[in-house]
């Protein structure tokens, strides 16, 4: 009985599946899913470390910005030379992308030649290695009859980690795989290649782009599949890249759009992060490599090492008597005798075992059937671990993309290349399967790059070439908006000259320099009830103020009325009847109709005043074109309209420009406020001018001018009067022609007042959106924007309001948000379009702010010189949405003033709807003086 048992035990032992023995032996290499998830999480946190500016230096996963910002969009074309260096073979190629009629098959045509590189060169002097590369290129050009004279753009696939500050520059961080040429580390490899090409001579080649093989692979595959946002190599080395949000890449300025990041993941584990999964065989492989302690992950995964891992395991098992009856051959003891190609052959479905046997026999071993099964299984475990680790890395990358996009489930394609993935029969299947288990919510499509990476490298270069030429054209257009310091000085000088001429009332001056008959700042003694009315663009505002010793404790009540847009262009009487009706309603509403309260009337248009309460409208501005008003006294027009109602009387005590109202309310807070600036729908400035410099025209007929302003005041002691410059008129006689762009001409010609208010049309909210729209139209017609399609939306006047400029130019506004603003306006834009639109908005508003700054500088230096001061402290009261809401306008304006007026220290005091309070203060002042 016992004997039977013994026999059956022995029999069963003999029958034991040899794979079980290997499984037990290689237990540490069989990573289960929980371990892989854990590795994946460590990987993800290392990626984050690599992206962040603070920690990137210490990160093993380097996360190198590649400066490739988009995947192929189908518009790439051209002929390119490419060099593919760093994989198992070195190749020179000529790639034609949609260059000739008749190119079918993926619309890319390639010719290539492989050039062997002697081992000595890979480990010798760097310059000699690059010379070899460059000489191979020349040989290729000659052999393929490609002109040596014609200039050829060249893309360089260089499959080693490089720190790139642009597409055409890259400092080598470290060699990996089988290369360790001297004198290249830390150097720019593009420059090294250029120098070698120069040394070789006789070629006309421009190296436009350098890319990692992962990036080039992603691009190659992206040509077929727009979803391809990841590039993977499992070849001699291993690595992956993916499209990351720019806002997460600390090392690159800007936060808009995406950029491809080369993870250079081979170095994962170099800091010990994989300690718990590393085996003695990994340590042995590492110790025997030419870069011990580095590329730990790569050494567990890639083709350069898999065969060696198998050999070391088999050797150990043989030594322990677990294989070949304990027999070990010299060949088995020799490094490199089992290659990754052997491992792939062992796992072939049909001939795997047969191949294993002949491989082992080639190593002078005499394997049994079980030995063959066991060795084959060692290969399986080693290569399975490789695909498992790659899956863990990929899962981390895909999780990052998923989180970036805030998606629960998503589809993505991964472009793959490399001999392991391509030639190992089971590898792809295993990788796909594990990845699916690790990331079930993600549908991944793997696209094999059959044609290598050069197609992608050429596409990157094509995009770079196109973008460079587009950018140049966009820059040319936008350069018209960029003003130099000298130009701003000239604008300042012209503003000053315009002011002087206007004050002297010489001929038709561009600046009207209208006296306001306002002499004093408010003094805080104002008391009693006053009204203020303000005719704005599309509305009319009424205010009742009850001053109790100035503004401090004043009570304010207001109401806003709509002005129907058609009234801006209709008969004058209708407009004033409407205003009278609003006034009537307000007085009823406040219950003050018969109190006969004094009123200030803000009429924010150029009025030639002959007294504080009288002034004729010189001309309409800001889109108004109401008839029968120009040349008439607007106070009288309002009073006549009120008379026509036969209901009440209104005592219009002061006619006030909005700038003057603004200045007065700010002067109440800050006595140094002697300038009032409006940058809203219109653009204008007022300031305190010396009476001796002002020529005025009197109320009663004396149209001669030349009357000393002081006499008109009746107040002998005052020295200054507020002047409404109406600076918007600068340029009407051509003084701005040298800075005016074609878009400005369009805006002017399509306005209701062509050739008028030229400065206003460059600086105010009513026009900036239109300047932007015309510039976008221009760029679109040049084919640089919106794919060259001029849509109805883009042709619609007024579609881009200035408030959108303020939104679009916000610093941290992601491109997608810019796109959605444009989309809402009916402008369908790509990310690249959005970048250009933002640039246009920036150029237009920057110029506006600078011009206002130049204007202010002219004004304050004039005041300073009037007073013979070397240094002048002054406050400018400011109102207007452009100033208040635009993210950069106020800063640029202030900066310009600082630079152009170094002898002035200027405080800008924003006025919160102060103009009406200012008008009431003026009214109170006039009243109290009369009493």
The entry of ligand BG6, ligand GLC, none near residue 604 (CB within 5 to 8 angstroms by kind) is ligand GLC
Single residue of 86, 161, 855, 918 touching ligand BG6 by CB under 6 A: 86
The answer to whether the CB of 268 falls within 8 A of the CB of 295 is no
Distances (CA, A) of 332 to 19, 161, 338, 339: 20, 34, 8, 12
In the bound complex, what is the minimum distance in angstroms from residue 117's beta carbon to ligand BG6? 13
Tell which positions 199-218 bind ligand BG6, by CB under 6 A: 213, 216
Single residue of 71, 168, 387, 453 touching ligand BG6 by CB under 6 A: 453
In the bound complex, what is the minimum distance in angstroms from residue 915's beta carbon to ligand GLC? 9
The entry of ligand GLC, ligand BG6, none near residue 291 (CB within 5 to 8 angstroms by kind) is none
The entry of ligand GLC, ligand BG6, none near residue 417 (CB within 5 to 8 angstroms by kind) is ligand BG6
The entry of ligand GLC, ligand BG6, none near residue 729 (CB within 5 to 8 angstroms by kind) is none
The entry of ligand BG6, ligand GLC, none near residue 160 (CB within 5 to 8 angstroms by kind) is ligand GLC
In the structure encoding, which two tokens stand for residue 716, read together?
């002998």
Q: Note whether 231 binds ligand BG6 by CB under 6 A.
A: no
Nearest to 719 by CA among 689, 696, 743: 689
In the bound complex, what is the minimum distance in angstroms from residue 341's beta carbon to ligand BG6? 11
Q: Note whether 626 binds ligand BG6 by CB under 6 A.
A: no
Between 18 and 418, whose beta carbon lies closer to ligand GLC?
418
- Whole-number Å distance between alpha carbons of 687 and 726: 11
Between 160 and 530, whose beta carbon lies closer to ligand GLC?
160
Q: Note whether 157 binds ligand BG6 by CB under 6 A.
A: yes
> What is the side-by-side order of every strand in the sheet holding 539-547?
555-562, 539-547, 528-535, 598-602, 651-656
The phi and psi torsions of 916 (rounded to 5 degrees) equal -75, -35
- Whole-number Å distance between alpha carbons of 832 and 819: 10
Q: Which stretch binds ligand BG6 (CB under 6 A): 131-139, 242-250, 416-424, 681-689?
A: 416-424
Tell which positions 232-261 bind ligand BG6, by CB under 6 A: 233, 235-236
In the bound complex, what is the minimum distance in angstroms from residue 831's beta carbon to ligand GLC? 26
The phi and psi torsions of 562 (rounded to 5 degrees) equal -90, 140
Between 233 and 438, whose beta carbon lies closer to ligand GLC?
233
Single residue of 72, 126, 170, 303 touching ligand BG6 by CB under 6 A: 303
Looking only at the bridges linking them, the beta strands covering 872-879 and 904-910 are parallel
Q: Note whether 452 binds ligand BG6 by CB under 6 A.
A: yes
The entry of ligand BG6, ligand GLC, none near residue 606 (CB within 5 to 8 angstroms by kind) is ligand GLC
In the bound complex, what is the minimum distance in angstroms from residue 494's beta carbon to ligand BG6? 60
Choose, from 177, 337, 838, 862, the residue flagged as catalytic: 177
The entry of ligand GLC, ligand BG6, none near residue 419 (CB within 5 to 8 angstroms by kind) is ligand BG6
The entry of ligand GLC, ligand BG6, none near residue 726 (CB within 5 to 8 angstroms by kind) is ligand GLC
Choose, from 188, 213, 613, 744, the residue flagged as catalytic: 213
In the structure encoding, which two tokens stand for residue 534, read together?
């303000």
For residue 164, count CB atoms less than 10 angstroms from its CB and return exposed for 0-12, middle for 13-18, buried for 19 or more: buried
The answer to whether the CB of 545 falls within 8 A of the CB of 598 is no
Spatial neighbors of 830 by CB under 8 A, at least 6 apart, are 73, 787, 819
The entry of ligand GLC, ligand BG6, none near residue 452 (CB within 5 to 8 angstroms by kind) is ligand BG6
- For 275, how many CA atoms within 13 A lie in the half-sphere containing its CB? 3
The entry of ligand BG6, ligand GLC, none near residue 266 (CB within 5 to 8 angstroms by kind) is ligand GLC
- Map tokens 């008391």 to a residue: 527
- Whole-number Å distance between alpha carbons of 825 and 464: 30
Helix (H, G, I), strand (E, B) or coil at 518: coil
Per-position DSSP letters for 23-67, written without gaps between them: HHHTGGG---HHHHHHHHHHHHHHHHHHHSTTTGGG-SS--EE--
Q: Which stretch binds ligand BG6 (CB under 6 A): 229-237, 271-279, 619-627, 868-876?
A: 229-237
Q: Note whether 461 binds ligand BG6 by CB under 6 A.
A: no
In the bound complex, what is the minimum distance in angstroms from residue 569's beta carbon to ligand GLC? 17
Q: Is 917 a catalytic residue?
A: no
The entry of ligand BG6, ligand GLC, none near residue 421 (CB within 5 to 8 angstroms by kind) is none
Between 235 and 502, whose beta carbon lies closer to ligand BG6?
235
- Whole-number Å distance between alpha carbons of 714 and 708: 11
**Looking at beta carbons, which residue is closest to ligand BG6?**
235
Between 40 and 217, whose beta carbon lies closer to ligand BG6?
217
Single residue of 76, 282, 284, 417 touching ligand BG6 by CB under 6 A: 417
The answer to whether the CB of 678 falls within 8 A of the CB of 884 is no
Single residue of 84, 244, 308, 658 touching ligand BG6 by CB under 6 A: 84
Between 465 and 516, whose beta carbon lies closer to ligand GLC?
516
The entry of ligand GLC, ligand BG6, none near residue 84 (CB within 5 to 8 angstroms by kind) is ligand BG6
Q: Which stretch binds ligand BG6 (CB under 6 A): 329-337, 415-423, 529-537, 663-671?
A: 415-423
- Whole-number Å distance between alpha carbons of 687 and 919: 15
In the bound complex, what is the minimum distance in angstroms from residue 42's beta carbon to ligand GLC? 18
For residue 6, count CB atoms less than 10 angstroms from its CB and return exposed for 0-12, middle for 13-18, buried for 19 or more: exposed
Q: Where are the alpha helices (DSSP H) in 223-302?
A: 280-287, 296-301
Instruction: Please give the residue ranges that form the binding site for ligand GLC (CB under 6 A).
Output: 86-87, 159-161, 176-177, 212-214, 233, 235, 237-239, 264, 266, 298, 604-606, 621-622, 657-659, 678, 680, 682-684, 726, 728, 760
Q: Note whether 415 binds ligand BG6 by CB under 6 A.
A: no
Its sign, for the CA torsion 34, 296, 302, 457, is positive
Tell which positions 513-542 bind ligand BG6, by CB under 6 A: none
Q: Note whether 66 binds ligand BG6 by CB under 6 A.
A: no
Q: Note whether 398 binds ligand BG6 by CB under 6 A.
A: no
- Whole-number Å distance between alpha carbons of 614 and 706: 19
Q: Where are the alpha helices (DSSP H) in 672-795?
A: 709-713, 742-749, 758-763, 765-781, 792-795
Between 108 and 211, whose beta carbon lies closer to ligand GLC?
211
Number of residues located near ligand BG6, criterion CB under 6 A: 17
In the bound complex, what is the minimum distance in angstroms from residue 515's beta carbon to ligand GLC? 14
Between 155 and 679, whose beta carbon lies closer to ligand BG6?
155
- Whole-number Å distance between alpha carbons of 528 and 541: 20
Single residue of 56, 70, 136, 159 touching ligand BG6 by CB under 6 A: 159
End-to-end alpha-carbon separation of the chain, Å?
A: 137
- Roughly what angle, to the nearest 10 degrees, separates helices 831-866 and 765-781? 140
Q: Which stretch binds ligand BG6 (CB under 6 A): 260-268, 412-420, 657-665, 844-852?
A: 412-420
Q: Is 213 a catalytic residue?
A: yes
**Burial letters for 740-769: b for 16+ Cβ neighbours within 10 Å, e otherwise?**
bbebbebbbeebebeebbbbbbbbbbbbbb
Q: Where are the alpha helices (DSSP H) in 413-554?
A: 419-423, 427-438, 454-479, 485-504
Nearest to 108 by CA among 139, 80, 148: 80
- Map tokens 């059937």 to a residue: 369
Q: Which residues belong to the active site? A: 177, 213
Footprint on this chain of ligand BG6 (rule: CB under 6 A): 84, 86-88, 157, 159, 213, 216, 233, 235-236, 303, 417-419, 452-453
């Amino acid at each position: 009985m016992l004997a039977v048992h013994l026999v059956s035990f022995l029999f069963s032992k003999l029958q034991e599946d040899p794979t079980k023995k290997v499984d037990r032996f290689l237990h540490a290499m069989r990573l289960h899913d929980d371990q892989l998830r854990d590795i994946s999480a460590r990987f993800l946190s290392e990626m984050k470390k690599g992206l962040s500016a603070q920690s990137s230096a210490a990160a093993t996963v380097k996360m190198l910005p590649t400066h490739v910002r988009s995947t192929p969009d189908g518009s790439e074309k051209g002929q390119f030379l490419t060099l593919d260096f760093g994989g198992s073979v070195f190749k020179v190629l000529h790639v034609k992308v949609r260059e000739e009629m008749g190119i079918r098959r993926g619309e890319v045509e390639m010719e290539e030649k492989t050039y062997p590189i002697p081992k000595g060169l890979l480990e010798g002097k760097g310059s000699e290695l690059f010379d070899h590369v460059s000489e191979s290129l020349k040989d290729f050009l000659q052999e393929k009859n490609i002109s040596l004279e014609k200039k050829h753009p060249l893309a360089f696939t260089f499959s080693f980690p490089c720190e790139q500050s642009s597409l055409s520059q890259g400092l080598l961080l470290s060699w990996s795989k089988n290369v360790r040429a001297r004198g290249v580390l830390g150097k720019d490899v593009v420059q090294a290649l250029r120098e070698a090409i120069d040394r070789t001579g006789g070629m006309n080649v421009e190296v436009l782009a350098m890319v990692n093989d992962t990036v080039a692979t992603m691009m190659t595959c992206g040509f077929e599949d727009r979803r391809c946002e990841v590039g993977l190599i499992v070849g001699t080395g291993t690595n992956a890249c993916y499209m990351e949000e720019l806002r997460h890449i600390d090392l690159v300025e800007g936060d808009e759009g995406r950029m491809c990041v080369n993870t250079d993941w081979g170095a994962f584990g170099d800091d010990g992060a994989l300690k718990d999964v590393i085996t003695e065989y990994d340590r042995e492989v590492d110790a025997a490599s030419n870069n011990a302690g580095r590329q730990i992950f790569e050494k567990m995964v890639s083709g350069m090492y898999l065969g060696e891992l198998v050999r070391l395991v088999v050797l150990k098992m043989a030594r322990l008597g677990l294989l070949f009856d304990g027999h070990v051959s010299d060949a088995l003891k020799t490094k490199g005798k089992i290659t990754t190609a052997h491992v792939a052959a062992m796992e072939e479905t049909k001939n795997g075992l047969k191949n294993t046997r002949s491989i082992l026999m080639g190593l002078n071993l005499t394997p049994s059937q079980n030995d063959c099964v066991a060795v084959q299984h060692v290969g399986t475990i080693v290569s399975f671990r490789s695909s498992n680790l790659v899956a863990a890395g990929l899962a981390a990358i895909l999780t990052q993309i998923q989180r970036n996009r805030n998606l629960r489930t998503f589809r993505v394609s991964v472009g793959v290349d490399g001999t392991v993935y391509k030639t190992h029969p089971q590898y792809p299947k295993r990788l796909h399967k594990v990845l699916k288990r690790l990331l079930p919510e993600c549908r991944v499509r793997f696209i094999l790059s059959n044609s290598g990476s050069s197609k992608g490298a050429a596409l990157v270069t094509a995009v770079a070439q196109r973008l460079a030429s587009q950018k140049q054209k966009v820059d040319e257009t936008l350069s018209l908006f960029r003003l130099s310091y000298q130009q701003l000085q000239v604008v300042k000088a012209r503003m000053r000259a315009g002011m002087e001429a206007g004050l002297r009332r010489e001929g038709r001056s561009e600046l009207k320099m209208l006296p306001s008959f306002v002499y004093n700042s408010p003094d805080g003694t104002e008391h009693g009830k006053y009204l203020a009315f303000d005719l704005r663009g599309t509305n009319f505002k009424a205010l009742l103020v009850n001053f109790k010793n100035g503004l401090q404790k004043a009570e304010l009540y207001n109401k806003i009325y709509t002005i129907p847009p058609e009234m801006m262009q209709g008969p004058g009487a209708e407009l004033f009847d409407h205003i009278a009706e609003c006034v009537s309603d307000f007085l009823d509403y406040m219950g003050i109709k018969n109190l006969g309260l004094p009123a200030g009337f803000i009429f924010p248009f150029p009025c030639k005043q002959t007294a504080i309460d009288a002034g004729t409208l010189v001309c309409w501005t800001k889109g108004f074109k109401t008839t029968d008003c120009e040349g008439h006294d607007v106070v009288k027009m309002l009073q006549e309209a009120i008379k026509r109602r036969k209901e009440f009387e209104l005592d219009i005590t002061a006619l006030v420009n909005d700038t003057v109202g603004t200045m007065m309310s700010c002067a109440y807070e800050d006595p140094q406020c002697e300038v009032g600036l409006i940058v809203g729908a219109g653009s204008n400035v007022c300031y305190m001018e010396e009476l001796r410099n002002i020529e005025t025209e009197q109320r009663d007929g004396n149209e001669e001018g030349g009357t000393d302003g002081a006499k008109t005041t009746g107040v002998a002691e005052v020295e200054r009067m507020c002047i409404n410059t109406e600076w918007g008129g600068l340029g009407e006689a051509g003084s701005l022609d040298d800075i005016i762009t074609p878009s400005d001409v369009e805006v002017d010609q399509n306005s209701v007042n062509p050739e008028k208010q030229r400065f206003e049309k460059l600086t105010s909210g009513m026009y900036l959106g239109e300047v932007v729209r015309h510039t976008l139209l221009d760029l679109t017609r040049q084919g640089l924007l919106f794919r060259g399609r001029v849509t109805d939306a883009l042709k619609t006047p007024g579609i881009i309001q200035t408030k959108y400029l303020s939104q679009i130019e916000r610093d941290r506004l992601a491109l997608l948000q810019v796109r959605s603003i444009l989309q809402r306006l009916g402008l369908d834009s790509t990310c690249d379009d959005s970048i250009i639109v933002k640039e246009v908005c920036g150029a237009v508003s920057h110029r506006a702010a600078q011009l206002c700054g130049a204007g202010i500088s002219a004004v304050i230096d004039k005041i300073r010189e009037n007073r013979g001061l070397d240094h002048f402290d002054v406050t400018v009261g400011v109102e207007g949405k452009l100033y208040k809401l635009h993210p950069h306008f106020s800063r640029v304006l202030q900066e310009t003033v600082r630079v152009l007026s170094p002898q002035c220290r200027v405080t800008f005091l924003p006025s919160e709807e102060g103009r009406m309070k200012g008008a009431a203060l003026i009214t109170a002042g006039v009243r109290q003086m009369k009493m």
